[in-house]
Amino acid sequence: MVDEQALQEVIEYMDSLSKDTAFPRNVREAISKAKDELIKKDEPFDVRLSSAVYIIDDVSNDINVPMHARSELWNLVSMLEGLKGE
């Protein structure tokens, strides 16, 4: 079972990143899309989590993403991966 408090913290972090105008629009959109995948209730949690990680990982590999944004994306992936063990 997933720790709901940890999940909520990750969702709030995703919200703050998706509203940060220091990030390019495509990065903010990817974070929002990953959050939407994560909060879906019609799929098993592990599937939603994997989808969110894939979306974030995909955008972090874009060569045009600034380094500060890439660092935040890697941090977000680490947080999401941490939810797997919960």
**Looking at the predicted structure, is the pLDDT value of residue 56 above 90?**
yes
Which domain, by its residues, includes 18?
4-84
How would residue 3 be classed by pLDDT, with cut points 50, 70 and 90? confident
Chain length of the chain: 86
**Looking at the predicted structure, is the pLDDT value of residue 86 above 80?**
no
Task: Tell me phi and psi for residue 18, to 5 degrees.
Answer: -70, -15
Q: Mean pLDDT of all residues in the chain?
A: 92
Output the domain CATH number for residue 71: 1.20.1440.50
CA dist 36 → 29, 33, 42, 67 (Å) = 10, 5, 12, 25
Higher pLDDT, 1 or 7: 7
Domain total for the chain? 1
